[in-house]
Structure 1
Amino acid sequence: MAKIKHNNFLDTVDRVITEAKSEGMVHLRAEDKDFTGRILTINGITCYHFGHTGYLGLELDHRIKSAAIQAVLNYGTQFPLSKTYIAHPLYEELEEKLELLFGNPVIITKNSTLGHLAVIPTVVRDGDAVLLDHQVHWSVQNAAQQLKLRGIPVQLVRHNNLEMLESLIQKLSSKADHIWYMADGVYSMYGDYAPVKELLALSKKYPQLHLYFDDVHGMSWRGKNGMGYVMSQLDFLPEHVLVFGTLSKTFGASGSALVCSNKHFYERIKNFGGPLTFSAKLEPSAVAAAIASADIHLSQEIYNLQNALKKRIDYFNQRLAKTDLPLIARNSSPVFYIGTGLPATGYFIVNKLMAAGIYVNLGLFPAVPVKNTGLRITLSNHNAIADIDHLVNHLEKEYPQALTVTHNSLNRIGNAFRMNFKEDSKPSIKTDQELQLQVFDTIYETNTSLWMECLGSTNVLDIDGMRFLEKSFNSMKNPQHQWRFRYIQIVDDANRPVLMTFLTESLWKDDMLAPASVSKKLEQLRATAPNLHTSRVLSIGCLFTEGNHLYLNDKHPQVEVALRQMLMYVERLGHRWNIDMTVLRDFDLNYKWSKLIQDQGYFTMDMPESCVLEDLDLKMEKDYSHYLSQRSQKHYKKDIKPYLDKVRCNLIKQPKPAQLDTFYQLYLQVKSKNISLNTFTYPFEVFEQMRKHSKWEFLVLNSATDDHLLGVMFCYKNYLGTYVPSLIGMDYHYLMEFQTYRQLLYHTILRARELHMKKVDFGMSANFEKRKLGATIIPKQAFIQTADNYLLEQLEMMRTNTKT
């Protein structure tokens, strides 16, 4: 009955990337006829290249290039035959050199993505479990998804959170033969490291724990013979630790290599490792290039190259330390991340830098949370010291300007990254007129006439409705039902309202908008852990209400200023209350101020569609069925009219306690079956407040013959013209016999006409049924901001879990 259109995570990503493309951040093209590594030409602008991942500059080494060219001349462009049957003549030499380099057996793969697809499903057995650092590279996460088809549990762990990891190990220890933890050695966004030594100590404490590292960003520039960051942290490679290194990026060739000391794993992967068996192998040119690079790695030259890069890294760190630029992770990796917080700030700086002849990457969602946007700067041996000076000088010049133009500050950026940066002045918003931001803890403190003028006609948002909500949810002892309210009122110097809204802070189920299959699985777990996968959310409006919760006077010259003021207040309040997510909800898809909100660190997500019966006051002269479309009239004659004589609808304004208890039991029936929009079940106290409130009434449906109670609609009368059937209760034993749901919808319309209401807010779900009774379906979106991406990735993983 309660069908919901659910958001697809990929749709959200697509919107963000499309926006970044329009800003000139992604899908760019290099225009050079040859590469030096130092310079890159983009849109006709010659730029110093600070987006390079060939950190040592080996991809342009003449020996590596010559080896590749000679291999093409000797062996052709490819060796088109599965390596399972016959290996290319150069493969054995490469394997031997890599085993010398790593001091352990290796398996060469086409690239790391195919390598993970070959190795992970092979070494992880059906009785095992997998835990993924939620920032581990996509290629690892993608390969782990294949395990779900075999019923292997796959869960996310917050980034580098050893306490959470140990807790999950303890929970899985009695259920799993082996527990695999998969992480990056060096993370590609912030340049921070995996706590390798601590993880190894944890594996000694829990022998079931196996470790799997993707160290492609730690290769070559770190460790003996350039064996990588992870291997540099180990005295020897234990059998329960697998490490993937790259032959591309810093290594300067193509492909990847798994380092494995476990003979059983090694033979199993070699014998049947998915893509290793069926996919094409490395081209002769790539193998020859890797051999030439391995020779460099096995010589003293690798340390000269490492030291040259270290000199640049140390110099950049020294220059940055003398600035106020917010560097997110201070370490010795060639990856640097300077936070901008807001996407708008990031867009501004990157475009300014490019105009000055400097190219850097912009860290964007979903690689980082939207509010953790930042400049991802990578150093390589191609960069001259003078280039670094040029970069820092322009960063110092452009960064403060970007903060001013985009109304940002170091304080805001520090809050976004949960770090402390040097204090600066709060962002100022210059106005022609003074706007006054007024904040209230209760509806009783607001200007009643302004509130009613701006928001009073919406849903349950009139003064009486807000008082009902406060009384119902302000004093609940159970945290599931305890809400905090804040009212925001922005007026100009003439006391004219420019913006008005209210916020609630409450506990949400993370799967509220997830498919029902996800919620069904989680509800089974919540039988013993009621608050599992829940988050504290700061939201415009509240879970009880729908519609436009934000009034903006679009004709006022300072409307944009007011909106920015509100967003800054919401941000500060969320930080003070330590909330997990901020939700600005129920906006039209083509909302006028979408870009401004997104630039402040929000991404858009589809909301369930809303159903509203409009212009009801213009449909009063004839029987309501005459106003339905021809197709809907057929539905009325078939599915509603024949049952009208079988039921009787009574209006009860103040039910007796025993009656209310019966109504509540019917509500619980509906709630238990309808998890497509999964919220907490309202406690009986809320319905007690309804019973005492003059604007709540109960449409009660009984059978005409034996007076059996079939269902009840809990309705709010907003006398500014909106009738709101907020909740419903039904006896499912009689649902089909009396078409209870359709009868309650139809009698709700009749009651709204009787009250001369202008519209009926039917709310979300069951769109098909409501459309057949004349309701308009209105697509809605929300603007979301999260503390990190863990929540979103966890939900996406649960969604794919239920599919498999």
Structure 2
Amino acid sequence: MAKIRHNNYIDTVVEISRNASEKGVVDLYTEDDHFTGRHIKVNGQELCHFGTTGYLGLEQDIRIKKAAIDAIMRYGTQFPLSKTFISHSAYSELEEKLAKMYGYPVVVTKNSTLGHLGTIPTVVRDEDAIILDQQVHWSVQNSCQIARTRGIPVEMIKHNNMEMLEAKIKDLSSRADKVWYFADGVYSMYGDEAPIGRLKELSAKYPQLHLYYDDVHGMSWVGKNGTGYVISQYGELPQNVIVFTTLSKTFGASGATMVTANKDFYTRVKRFGGPLTFSAQLEPSSVAAAIASADIHLSDEIYDMQKELAEKVAFCNECLAKTDLPLIEENNCPVFYIGTGAPAVGYNFVKKLMDAGFYVNMGVFPAVAVKRTGVRFTVSRHNEKEDIKALVDAMSRLYPIALAEESTTKNQVRKIFGLPLLKETPPAPLAIPDSLRIEVYERPDELPAGEWDEIFKGRNVFDYAGLQFLEKAFGDSEVPEHQWDFRFVLIRDMTDKIVLATFLTKTLWKDDMLAPASVSMALEKKRITDPLHHSSQVLAMGSLFTEGDHLYLDQEHPDKEAILDLFFQTLTRMDEELQPDVIALRDFTFANDFLKAHCDGQGFVKAALPDSCVMEDLSWSTQDEYLEGLSSKSRKHFRQDIEKYADRVQVEISDVLSAPELEKAYALYRNVWDKNFDMNTFAYPKSIFEVMNTDPNWEFIKMFPAGIEKRPGQMIGVMFSYKNTGTTYVPSLIGLDYDYSDEFSVYRQMLFQTVLRAHALGFKRIDFGFSASFEKRKVGAESIQKIAYIQAKDNFAMEMMEVVQNETTAS
């Protein structure tokens, strides 16, 4: 999947949050004057509370509350001093009780985020390596950035993929002292668990493996003395394990703990744990509350509480089992996740549940992939069984309504999450208004050529003749990265007028296609032996060979919204049929963002594309007049970088290349591809150029040094140009001999010769396409910001690109 730039990523998170806020499902405030844990009041309505992370309800325990109040009265609201120098009176008692709970001395931290920041850079040494589970908590991943700046390798695996983990361990073992794997004990979204049994086996097989667990969601509700899921699975902690647990959430107080049997790890963090040394210590009230909770955890009462919660969790599972709700993970954890797929379904479903009297959370991007939005609810001891049954009954009743209102089916959601499908039923027919009809074709020769060209003539290489070229060049390729599957979509109104038209292509994209060049350079080294490394099947509007306005929509049509609804329904059907990893709707301008409202609800994330370059005015008569049309800065560049080299080259135009010329032209193209990582695509095979060479709509601008015989071997540049219906000249690809770049300024000369050729042929515009905007502006092109909407089934590719980018930046 295309890399989402960091600023664009933040914009996306903010935009999704804004959408959720507008739907009334986030940015809420309670209106209670006191809490019981069972209900909360929102917007004047009392709701059954199924959103807490205090699964045992200890935050409402009177003993813990009284202890906190008493500590404030005795010690004040805070003890503002670093714990390295001196701790307030209650700290030693807390540490003693926690050591008794766990059976090991513990490091108490202000919270788990600061704890990770203090621990990870301290215990992971420069000669070590790190592997992150894709879904390990953000606070852990963020803390590993510090280790990366020291040159420590940081890799990532797909969630709980032990085969991928073992492969990474093998790869890193030869160059690392310790290989650290970072995981959650219980994951916060789906409530699924780390495969500790398998991790034990890997630890026995690979002594270098060290394990670091964030188990804050596994704390208290399970394990001896409520010490959590991870420790319950180990019993006695091995020397290669560190566990982070919490004093907040289910524990009912504040703070976090680092637990390990390894004395060296403990001592290093205790003596100097970064922010643990320089930050303020826990407030006296928090320490006292934690002591009171520790007393409960050290008593048999904790097991009664665990049993009571376990019975309610089991009851919830029983209730859910009687429905066809898509529960993503069924286990004994108090966290439940019902998949909705698209955010629009999630917003709709959560709002309906709130209207019915139930407060639940949403799982949204970036915590989950946008397309894997869902409803996350939790069961606590505060909830009564009648509350649980009422919630499940309401969900079972309202879920299909929310799906139907958003034109989604149960099986569509199940496919997204990889769940077993319900009994096979014929797919619901498309909801096509009587005023519209849709046509979907798989080959360009099925299209009405005249109508297509009436809409798309002059647009890059996808007028009707351009589509025929693409079909011939890519339609029957046996090479995986060039196997293109086309879909052409036409929507007509009741007068038979085309009101929407586009085409889409399913093919392989490199996940780093739009990543920084440093990322692509790193990945290309691995592609020497694994050519398809980090690539994904993408169903994209247009194709990798084309650029521009691939979607035509009659913006003035009174049924515009219905037309778009029908298009997105059709897109969903294509998704089910072709099963791509990613859908990309692309090449829109910020000013022409008419898909935004539909994309927001369908799980599409906005991503910035490289600027596109066009030259709209070729009406000048002479070169002087052309130069006058350039900006003063561009005229200066022209004289310095182009004009003074013009007499050093000679140009020849060919409709067809000879076999030796084609061989040389292809070699020059590969020169450019080998060096161009700004938009990293798979290199086109020579067969594509052979098809191009037989197509009358293509021509070739060849460049040679001046004063020599123009032989194929002397060619130093070539522009592969498409002539679109006498309207638009499209220099699609270029080939260069970099040995002559300084002597002849070959690239800039080729751009200038392209302008001259397009003008000589009487074309109205030049479509220069993506990348090299600075150079293209020198010859008079205008750069236009473009965006895409990306819908990914999984965040792994995007997150992996972030890991690689940080790795290359650090090195």
Q: Per the shorter chain, which TM-score range?
A: over 0.9
Partner of 1:781: 787
CA distance in 1, matches of 2:5, 2:134: 27
2:278 counterpart residue number: 278
Paired residue type of 1:368: V
Partners in 2 of 1:619 and 1:257 — Cα distance? 77
1:242-299 CA distance string (max 9 Å, x none) = 1111000000000111111112222222122212222221111111100000001111
Quick one: distance in 2 between partners of 1:192 and 1:255?
Answer: 24
Between stretches 139-148 and 579-588, larger displacement belongs to 579-588
Alpha-carbon distance, 1:762 to partner: 0.6
Asked whether the equivalents of residues 457 and 725 of structure 2 are also in contact (C-alpha less than 8 Å), the reply is no
> Which has the higher mean CA deviation after the structures are superposed, 481-490 or 504-513?
481-490
Deviates more, 1:578-587 or 1:484-493: 484-493
Over residues 41-85 of structure 1, what are the superposed CA-to-partner deviations in whole Å (9 max), with x where a residue is unaligned?
333433222111111111121111111111112122222222222
Aligned to 2:131: 131
User: How many aligned positions are there?
Assistant: 801
- Is the Cα contact below 8 Å between 1:712 and 1:730 reproduced in 2? yes
Is contact 2:609–2:786 with CA below 8 Å preserved after alignment?
A: yes
Mapped contact 1:429–1:561 kept (Cα < 8 A): no
Whole-Å separation in 2 of the counterparts to 1:567 and 1:243: 46
Alignment match, 2:663? 661
> Shift of the alpha carbon at 1:425?
6.7
Q: Could you tell me how far apart the structure 1 residues matched to 2:5 and 2:413 are?
A: 35
Counterpart Cα distance in 2 of 1:674 and 1:300: 66
Judged with a 3 Å threshold, the aligned counterparts in structure 2 of structure 1 residues 710 and 134 are, in CA distance, closer, same or farther, namely same
* 1:791 partner letter: A
* Amino acid of the structure 2 residue aligned with 1:159: H
Kindly indicate whether the alpha-carbon contact (under 8 Å) linking 1:404 and 1:427 is maintained by their aligned counterparts in 2. Answer: no
SS for the counterpart of 2:661 is: helix
What's 1:598 paired with? 600
Deviation at 1:387, TM superposition (A): 2.6
Equivalent in 725, 728, 740 of residue 731 of structure 2: 725
- For 1:480, what is the secondary structure of its paired residue? helix
Q: 1:539 to 1:738 in 2, by over 3 A?
A: same
Corresponding residue number in structure 2 for 1:74: 74
**How many angstroms does 1:576 deviate by?**
3.9
SS at match of 1:701: strand
Normalising by structure 2, report the TM-score: 0.94
- 1:21 is matched by which residue type in structure 2? S
Deviates more, 1:771-780 or 1:787-796: 771-780
Match of 1:384 in 2: 384
2:197 corresponds to which residue? Answer: 197
The alpha-carbon deviation at position 96 of structure 1 amounts to: 1.4
Counterpart residue number, 2:764: 758
* Map of 1:589 onto structure 2: 590
Question: How far apart are residue 322 of structure 1 and its match?
Answer: 2.0
Q: Which has the larger displacement, 474-483 or 501-510?
A: 474-483
Secondary structure of residue in 1 paired with 2:652: strand
What amino acid maps onto 2:35 in structure 1?
Answer: F
CA contact (8 A) 1:507 1:537 kept: yes
Aligned to 1:455: 456
CA distance in 1, matches of 2:185, 2:621: 67
Over 3 Å counting, the alpha-carbon distance change for 1:52 and 1:378 in structure 2 is same
Shift of 1:680: 1.3
Secondary structure, counterpart of 1:645 in structure 2 = helix
SS of residue paired to 2:121: helix
In the TM superposition, residue 421 of structure 1 has moved relative to its aligned partner by: 4.0
Q: Distance in 1 between matches of 2:43 and 2:765?
A: 53
Could you say which residue in structure 2 is the equivalent of 1:181? Answer: 181
Residue of structure 1 in register with 2:510 after alignment: 509
- Answer yes or no: is 1:713 the counterpart of 2:715: no
Q: Partner of 2:515: helix, strand, or coil?
A: coil
CA contact (8 A) 2:726 2:762 kept: no
Superposed CA offset, 1:733-776 (max 9, x none): 22233332222222212221222222111111111222233322
CA offset digits 1:183-235 (Å, max 9, x no partner): 11111111111111221122112222111111100111111221111111123
User: 679, 682, 685: which one pairs with 1:683?
Assistant: 685
Question: Could you tell me which amino acid in structure 1 is paired with residue 740 of structure 2?
Answer: Y
Superimposed CA distance per residue, residues 683-727 of structure 1 (whole angstroms, 9 cap, x where no aligned partner): 222111121111111112233334653322110000151110001
Which secondary structure does the structure 2 equivalent of 1:616 belong to? coil
Q: Deviations over 1:385-424 (max 9, x none)?
A: 3332332333233222211211111011011111124356
When residues 718 and 174 of structure 1 are mapped into structure 2, their CA distance, relative to the original with a 3 A threshold, is: same
Question: Is 1:745–2:751 an aligned residue pair?
Answer: yes
Structure 2: how far apart are the matches of 1:755 and 1:14? 48
The amino acid of 2:48's aligned partner reads Y
Residues 518-557 of structure 1: matches in 2 within 5 Å? 518-557=519-558
The answer as to whether partners of 1:243 and 1:260 remain within 8 angstroms in 2 is yes
Aligned partner of residue 152 in structure 2, secondary structure? coil
Find the aligned partners of 1:8 and 1:700 in 2 and give their Cα distance: 40
Partner in structure 2 of residue 790 of structure 1: 796
Shift of 1:493: 5.2
**1:801 corresponding residue in structure 2:** 807
Q: 1:308 to 1:618 in 2, by over 3 A?
A: farther
Listed as ranges, the matches of 1:135-146 within 5 Å are 135-146=135-146
Letter in 2 for 1:773: V
Give 1:266-415 correspondences, 5 Å limit. Answer: 266-415=266-415
- Match of 1:186, SS state, is coil
Contact 1:37 1:49 in 2 (8 A): yes
What secondary structure does 2:452 align onto? Answer: helix
CA contact (8 A) 1:499 1:559 kept: no
Structure 1 equivalent of residue 101 of structure 2: 101
Residues 484-533 of structure 1 show CA distances to partners (whole Å, capped at 9, x for unaligned) of 22222333455432332222222211111000111111122222222221
- Residue 434 of structure 2 aligns with which residue? 433
Structure 1: gaps (5+ residues): none
Q: Post-superposition shift, 1:611?
A: 0.8
- Select the residue among 693, 696, 702 that pairs with 2:695: 693
Deviates more, 1:263-272 or 1:624-633: 624-633
TM-aligned CA distance change 1:75 to 1:619, over 3 Å:
farther
Which position in structure 1 is the counterpart of 2:489? Answer: 488
Cα distance between partner residues in 2 of 1:520 and 1:340: 38
Whether the aligned pair in 2 keeps the contact of 1:407 and 1:427 (CA below 8 Å) is no
Return closer, same or farther for 1:514/1:46 CA change in 2, 3 Å cut-off: same
Equivalent residues of 1:7, 1:513 under 8 A apart: no
Q: 1:161 Cα deviation (Å)?
A: 1.0
Q: Distance in 2 between matches of 1:619 and 1:346?
A: 59
C-alpha separation between the residues in 2 aligned to 1:177 and 1:576? 47
Alignment-derived partner of residue 119 in structure 1 = 119
Corresponding residue for residue 64 of structure 1: 64
* TM-aligned CA deviation for residue 14 of structure 1: 3.1
The residue number in structure 2 matching 1:639 is: 641
Question: Residue deviations 1:88-116, cap 9 Å, x none?
Answer: 22111111111221222221111111111
Distance across 2 between alignment mates of 1:429 and 1:782:
26
* Mean CA deviation greater in 438-447 or 622-631: 622-631
Match of residue 630, structure 2, among 613, 628, 631:
628
Distance (Å, rounded) in 2 between the aligned partners of 1:263 and 1:621: 79
What whole-Å deviation, never above 9, does each CA across 1:454-484 have from its counterpart, x for those lacking one? 3343110022211211222223332222222
Q: Which stretch shows the higher mean deviation, 240-249 or 70-79?
A: 70-79
Query: Which deviates more from structure 2 when the two are superposed, residues 152-161 or residues 732-741?
Result: 732-741
Q: Secondary structure at the match of 1:499?
A: strand
Secondary structure of 1:623's partner?
A: helix
| Contact 2:326/2:419, CA 8 A, preserved across alignment | no
Aligned partners of 1:621, 1:299: CA distance in 2, in Å? 91
Root mean square deviation of aligned Cα: 2.2
1:23-102 equivalence runs, <5 A: 23-102=23-102
Aligned counterparts of 1:282 and 1:465: Cα–Cα separation in 2: 68
Aligned to 1:770: 776
Partner Cα separation in structure 2 for residue 572 and residue 232 of structure 1: 46
Q: Which amino acid aligns with 1:73?
A: M
The separation in 2 between residues aligned to 1:5 and 1:711, in whole angstroms, is: 33
